[in-house]
Structure 1
Amino acid sequence: MTATLAPAAPAARARRAVPVSRILRMELVKQFSAWRVRVLLLLCWLGPGVLVFAVAQQGTLPSDTLFGRWMHATAWAGPLVVLGVAGSWALPLVTSMVAGDVFASEDRLGTWRHLLITVRSYRRIFAAKAIASLTVIVLLVTGLALSGIAGGLLAEGNQPLVGLDGHLLSGTDAAGDVLLAWLCALAPTLALAAIGLLGSIALGRSPMGLLLPMLAALGMQVAQLLPLPVAVRLALPGYAFISWNGLFAEPRQLGPLLIGVGVSLAWAVLATMLAYLLFLRRDFTNLNNDGAGRRALTLGAAPLAGLLAVTVAAVSLSTGAGGSGITQDKVQRSMAVAFAHLYRYQQSQMRQPTVTEAQLQATANCDKSEGLGAQAGPGNDWRCTVNWTVPGYNATAQAIYQVDVSANGRYTADGDGPVQLNGYFLIVIDGKAVPNPLWQFDGNVDLLG
């Protein structure tokens, strides 16, 4: 009995797979040894801070970017500007360079056989590579957020931030909302990373696998510009790159944000599962097979298309949202609230007597295309007349704004008179020129409100 079992023990030990922790250390070494990852780390941890600090020293600001016009007033506008740009370009690039290449690099180097002989477990290889790419991506996103915050604090300090409806957030509240916005943006980043894993396995050494997350992000950005129904817009994982805007309104517009985060996480889970299944089915004995090919890509894309259809139906049924979600009543209410908050803020800046929103009794009358056609939907042809009661004079005043409403609900109101109220970009207070909050301001229409 002993003679029979003795040779089996060394054989069992020889077949024992390498622990995931050891494989993960090896994959992390690979990641941080790559020059592109080192460059990304340098750019993400230093670039936003330098950029925010430099912009804050300039006389002109990126007023066409959300929160850009407040970069001279508070530190917390800078990291939000960085987040807006990162959601469109930096984060898709990060996921492409890291997750989109984590499996394809083995095909280019021809190291699959060596890796499989050493590790002896497809599952552990997949887990180690996925965790390593996730670790690097989280580190890069953290660098973007903290660097932007540091640059803003060095430039302007911990000052209050004006929200999207004109209400003032203290420095502490703004800090918490900024960090929460970056945390929410991590969900669509994970969805793009999972798509990168899927493309890296399905397309092998083909460069299309590396570009797949960026192409997916670009497609979702184009979709957000189209006049799509609200349910379709919210069912796209990239919407969470936009819906964090609702954190900076009062009350918070959490519906679109929670849906966007949930949809993004669902895409991340499904795409990762598909990548795992394709990886297990791959034939590594054939040196000419560097990926799963078109058939596998189709098998990976079909379930994601099915998930999109299911989420569109679920969002439509659960919220009852239809059309663009932008109506005349919503625009009017949002404009009246934002104007009242900003008027009070402007008066406090100019050392005028304190007023309240209740005293102002602000209302707004808005029409689209001069009242012709449907009074709903996005467009740059909205015109609003804001009426309010001047405190202490028992008189009614008016202000006119040209309003450009985008398909995602964000709008920019551009002052069109009276000149002394909203006709100038800057106002002078104690000999210092500061932005006029009523000259031009951003707002957000809750598509589900």
Structure 2
Amino acid sequence: MTATVVDAPAAAARRVSLPRCYRFELVKLVSQWRIRLLVLACWIAPALFVAAVGEQSTLPTDTLFGRWMHATGWAGPLVMLGFAGTWALPLLTSVVAGDVFASEDRLGTWRHLLVAVRSPRRIFAAKSLAGLTVVLLLVAGLACSSTVGGLVAVGDQPLVGLDGHLLAPSDAAGRVLLAWACVLAPTLALAGIGLLGSVALGRSPMGLLLPALVALAMQLAQMLPLPVAVRLALPGYAFISWNGLFTSPEQLGPLLIGVAVGLVWAALATALAHLLFVRRDFTNPAYDGSGRRAVTTGLLPLAALAAVTVAVLTAATGATGSGIEQGKVERSLATAFAHLYRMQTRQLNRPAVTEAQLKATAACTKSDGQAAPNGPGNDWRCVVTWHLPGTAVAGTAIYQLDIASDGRFVADGDGPKEVNGYFLVRTPLGDAPNPLWQFDGGVELLDTTSKG
């Protein structure tokens, strides 16, 4: 008797869905001790820092809005935003996005993952979404924690804008939230670069460091006297241009350009990372990245995007120089002085006056008139003139300006003493900080707001 063997049809293996794969990758990420530590730090440390600074006698006046941290709780999240854009967010994206693919190379688990999921595209999407979720969680922690710390320590008081005008607490809250939302664009650009480095460089530590190195290069570039179009074409410009939300009227042109450029960089870098990933040979367990492919498929397209962006912005805006010109500096200084003069008037219980009545103007020179009155530098000298109702003699005040390449300036009062020559003023309630002694301002690099 012979036995007949009947082969049962092989059961079709179930496909792992993207949501299930995403949950798996997210659990893998948050189970790492360094990710948990970062999440904990981002949700606790900013509140402690802002609250501690609010109790100190000295303030971080070299940071935008730092000099107002004793006056309102809304200054705290803006100080933290400046720090995050410079240091925290590039490092966070490096740790998360820069390691999300490279960790599989170090552990040698690609073959196991491919057998389980059987779709490189689905693996890439799941890992990218998991990394994005963690990055958003970290950014939300920085924003919420610093805001809570500032409001608890100082209170819900009006915020002095970058041009000296007062923002009501509700208005300040909306703008602070919008500022943090705007920096998501350059953060996503760095995350996309991190994904690209993690895929292209394999287990090499350079993939992990790539977002931080790119952010550092952009910061150094912003310190140089670059043309406006080149400055705007950098994907990290929204880390700076959010301060345009705190002027009246808002300087939205540079901000919108910075957000758009950041999103385009994020999309292209992620697409290039996907292209490299699906073309990779996973049968080689000793794969350590492809330098040639990283250059041809990664670096060159991003360099081409930067060149095209510079050309488009130059043609669209017509801006060729630094954007810092004598007329802009004078208008910015006079506007800020008029707003802050009204604040000083209220402190001293003097008769109320409006900006229109003051008719404040400024006359500025650079290097005592020996240099062309344009471009950044700490050698700007300005004389502000204003008129009080019923007074025939005009008032004057002298300021020394230090203007950075990105248009931000610090105006340092140089007399007369009773106006801006001393850091305290005597009020009926005691000594108070003199708002005219030293203040921050900004020169709009693009002519996108009205001059009125």
Q: Which residue of 2 aligns with 1:70?
A: 68
Q: Which residue of 2 aligns with 1:187?
A: 185
Counterpart among 289, 292, 305 of residue 290 in structure 2? 292
Q: CA RMSD in A?
A: 1.3
Q: Which residue of 1 aligns with 2:450?
A: none
- Is the contact made by 2:105 and 2:287 (CA closer than 8 Å) also made in structure 1? no
- Equivalent residue runs for 1:409-428 within 5 Å: 409-428=407-426
1:343 CA drift (Å): 0.2
- Equivalent residue runs for 1:115-194 within 5 Å: 115-194=113-192
Q: Which residue of 1 aligns with 2:59?
A: 61
Q: Which residue of 1 aligns with 2:329?
A: 331
* TM-score, normalised relative to structure 1: 0.96
1:333 CA drift (Å): 0.7
- Count residues in correspondence: 442
Counterpart among 353, 368, 387 of residue 389 in structure 1? 387
1:341 and 2:356 matched: no
Q: Which residue of 2 aligns with 1:86?
A: 84
1:443 CA drift (Å): 0.6
1:430 CA drift (Å): 4.0
Distance in 1 separating the partners of 2:291 and 2:8? 42
Distance in 2 separating the partners of 1:327 and 1:381? 14
Distance in 2 separating the partners of 1:288 and 1:7? 38
Distance in 2 separating the partners of 1:142 and 1:297? 34
1:253 and 2:251 matched: yes
1:106 and 2:104 matched: yes
Deviations 1:208-236 (A, max 9, x none): 00000000000000000011100000000
Distance in 2 separating the partners of 1:427 and 1:221? 37
Which letter does structure 2 place at the counterpart of 1:48?
A: P
Q: Which residue of 2 aligns with 1:230?
A: 228
1:391 CA drift (Å): 2.8
- Is the contact made by 1:199 and 1:297 (CA closer than 8 Å) also made in structure 2? no
Distance in 2 separating the partners of 1:211 and 1:434? 46
Distance in 1 separating the partners of 2:8 and 2:218? 59
Q: Which residue of 1 aligns with 2:202?
A: 204
Deviations 1:148-173 (A, max 9, x none): 10011011111000101111100000
Deviations 1:193-252 (A, max 9, x none): 000000000011110000000000000000000111000000001110000010001110
Distance in 2 separating the partners of 1:112 and 1:432? 69
Distance in 2 separating the partners of 1:114 and 1:188? 34
* TM-score, normalised relative to structure 2: 0.96
1:21 CA drift (Å): 1.0
- Is the contact made by 1:426 and 1:434 (CA closer than 8 Å) also made in structure 2? yes
1:296 CA drift (Å): 2.6
Deviations 1:55-113 (A, max 9, x none): 01011111111000000000111100000010000000110000000000001111101
1:292 CA drift (Å): 3.2
In structure 2, relative to structure 1, the CA distance for the partners of 1:300 and 1:111 (3 Å cut) is same
Which letter does structure 2 place at the counterpart of 1:383?
A: R
- What SS does structure 1 have at the residue aligned with 2:419? helix
Which letter does structure 2 place at the counterpart of 1:379?
A: G
The structure carrying a bigger helix percent of its residues is 1
Which letter does structure 2 place at the counterpart of 1:81?
A: V
1:432 CA drift (Å): 4.2
- What SS does structure 2 have at the residue aligned with 1:385? strand
1:22 CA drift (Å): 1.0
Deviations 1:321-370 (A, max 9, x none): 11000000000011111100100111112221110011111110001111
Identity %: 68
1:437 CA drift (Å): 0.7
1:271 and 2:272 matched: no
